[in-house]
Amino acid sequence: MRTKEIEHLKRDVTTLSRLRHPCILEVVEPLEECRSSYLFATEHVVASSHELLQDSADPAHQLDEVELQKGFLQLARALDFLHDAKLVHTNLTSMSVVMNAKGDWKLCGCAYLTSLAGVQSDSGRWAYEEEEHALPEVMRRDMDFADPVYVIDRRVGPYNDMYSLGILFYMATHHSAKPYQTYGSASALSAYMEDWPERMYSSTWSLLERDVQTILTRLLSRTETPRYTAKAFLDLPYLNSMLVRVLKFLERESFAAHSRTEKVQFLRGMYKMLPQFSVPLMRRKLLPNLLEATSDRMLLPYILPNVFYIAKNLSQIEFTTTVLVRLEPHFCVHEPAQSQMLLLNQTDLLLSKTTQKDFQTRVMPLLYSAFDNEHVAVQENALQRIPKLCGTLDYTHVKDILLPKLTSLFSKTKTLSVKVTSLICFHAMIPMLDKTSITDVLLPTLNRIKTREPSVMVGSLAVFEALCDKVDLETKATVFLPRLWIMAMCPLLNEMQFGRFMRAIKDIGQGVEQQQLERLREAKHLQLHTEEQASKTIAPVPLNAAIASTGDIDLEALVGHARYETSVHAMDDLFAPDSAQPRSKSPVVPPPPPSGTLAPPPGWSGGLLVPDSGPRSKTPRAASKAQWHDFDPLL
């Protein structure tokens, strides 16, 4: 980059840094020179007026008439500040006006700022004219906005800026179209001025308002005499409609200058005028100023209705990032009580504009704070929201947070209406509670009720009736019925209320009776079935039953696969000796096996001794010969 270009940029940033005014772009970080670049930072800028004055398809960049009027007032204030300081901008174009995040118009592009104190009217030169020709076209003055008095007549004064302001005003009322285009040529500007102002009257001129026609005619005059000054421009009726005055009142400096009483009156009247504002204008201009004013907690009851009216048109992300962040610190504020009441009244809106997680973690503390509010009306308002919210909250949140806080409020309050409303909340929460929460938290709370007011008794009855499907038989019999009898005997109950208690006691009692009878019948049936199965069980087969009358062993009967019936005679034959002589009672010692190789015993297969399946002779074996049958353990 060449030296002249660098000097031009440095002068622009340095001049802008020295100017301090709400309508002039603020430089946050001054210019810093690095090895290969120059850095500086300004306040956040959304777009330039060149983009804003065009017919943009983006709703965020579309400006309505009220916002245009407010923007031109801000530009006039910036010019009035410069003109009072004997300074002339001399290059007011659509690129030197920007809009910040709050929708305020800011003046910038001060590289050609000229001091009237150092300019000689008869010098015949512009400020920085010589170096301008050496700059790129984008850095030069835009002849489409230049005042012919400045370019042709070579006269410098505040009227130069007012002509440029007239060109911007013409573009705003003609869909960003300029009255002429010079393509950077001063001679082309001179040619246009020969038949000026006839060229200014476009085909749509007659469609403009009378006030707009007057403003354009005076600002775009060939000579400086008819033109408005910046101060006169600020007082024009067209730019000071009721809606514009509302915007001006909400500006930070203006709002802070009024007393609290005036602010209250203004905020009350403003709510009635909100339908006249467009949605983008409310979002860009009104909402930020209203949220900024919430720092005064005494004004919250008057600010919140306006905020929630505008918030209805916000998306979920916009609401969470802009509105909810500013309202969260006020959720725990108990004074004035109207603030929490208004916030609680907008629970449905808060639910629709936040995710389930954000609602549980960021909005539910509002209701819990209201539980601790000393005003009964606030507590009741918060409790009335709980039944509808139970279906949207997580089971763990209801069990671990909501139920303990609700039981705490129910136990410590002495207000009858709060107790009754709490019982309604308990009734709504029952589908989301498990048996442990019911038996450990809810039932002990209900059993500690000391008041005998009929409304509390009837409310408790409704809760007990709803709990019947969530508890076991023993709890109904040992907890519910005794408690219901105690409450039924309250002398303050009327006949109808007592009859309701008796019907509930009978219904629960009959249910307990039927369930207990069914349980006893099932137990008896199970016992009979068990005894029957035990009687059908196969008894162990004795060894004697596995030995046939012939003396052979029935292996199948031995292992229990068949049942062998043995008669008394068979048993006698079993133990009868082969001869008439009685069997010797002395043990028979088998002789040692003979030398030599013995044949495998009958029934030998892989190391298992299996009885021989062939017929066995009853002839006594010779005692002198060792047979494998003598070692058969089954004999």
Q: What pLDDT score was predicted for residue 29?
A: 86
The 10 Å Cβ neighbour count of residue 198 is 6
Where a domain ends, among 198, 224, 240?
A: 240
Q: What pLDDT score was predicted for residue 141?
A: 85
> What pLDDT, in 10s, does the model give residues 100-123?
887 889 999 888 888 887 665 544
Q: What pLDDT score was predicted for residue 12?
A: 87
The band of 623, judged by pLDDT with boundaries at 50, 70 and 90, is very low
Q: Of 231-240, 278-287, 426-435, 604-613, give the lowest mean pLDDT range.
A: 604-613
Q: What pLDDT score was predicted for residue 551?
A: 53
Q: Tell me: pLDDT of 135 over 70.
A: yes
Number of domains in the chain: 2
**Closest-CA residue to 616 (of 627, 600, 626, 604):** 627
**Closest-CA residue to 42 (of 27, 24, 31, 30):** 27
Q: Of 47-56, 188-197, 410-419, 495-504, give the lowest mean pLDDT range.
A: 47-56
Q: Is residue 103 part of a domain?
A: yes
CA distances from 511 to 89, 134, 187, 442, 474 (A): 91, 101, 104, 22, 12
pTM of the model: 0.71
Q: Report the distance separating Cα 314 and Cα 354, nearest Å.
A: 11
Structural domain harbouring 503: 394-530
**Closest-CA residue to 566 (of 583, 577, 580, 552):** 552
Q: Is residue 33 part of a domain?
A: yes
Q: What pLDDT score was predicted for residue 574?
A: 45
Q: Is residue 444 part of a domain?
A: yes
Q: Is residue 596 part of a domain?
A: no
Where a domain ends, among 530, 558, 577?
A: 530
Q: Of 107-111, 391-395, 568-572, give the lowest mean pLDDT range.
A: 568-572
The band of 6, judged by pLDDT with boundaries at 50, 70 and 90, is confident
Residue 551 — left, alpha, or beta (φ > 0 → left; ψ -120 to 50 → alpha)?
left
Q: Is residue 626 part of a domain?
A: no
Q: Is residue 512 part of a domain?
A: yes
Q: Is residue 265 part of a domain?
A: no
Q: What pLDDT score was predicted for residue 361?
A: 94
The identity of residue 484, as a single letter, is: L
Q: What pLDDT score was predicted for residue 506?
A: 93
Q: Where are the alpha helices (DSSP H) in 235-362?
A: 242-250, 252-257, 260-273, 279-281, 287-292, 300-311, 316-318, 325-327, 337-345, 347-352, 356-358
The band of 601, judged by pLDDT with boundaries at 50, 70 and 90, is low
Structure tokens at 511: 């249910």
Q: Report the distance separating Cα 59 and Cα 288, nearest Å.
A: 18
Where a domain ends, among 212, 240, 268?
A: 240
Helix or strand holding residue 166 (H, E): helix 158-173
> Cα angle at 200 between 197 and 205, to 5 degrees?
125
Instruction: Say which CATH number the domain at 79 has.
Output: 1.10.510.10
The band of 205, judged by pLDDT with boundaries at 50, 70 and 90, is confident
- Return the C-alpha torsion angle 289, 290, 293, 295, nearest 10: -120
Q: Tell me: pLDDT of 61 over 90.
A: no
Q: Is residue 400 part of a domain?
A: yes
Among the ranges 57-61, 366-370, 585-589, which has the highest mean pLDDT value?
366-370
The residue assigned the tokens 């800011």 is 106
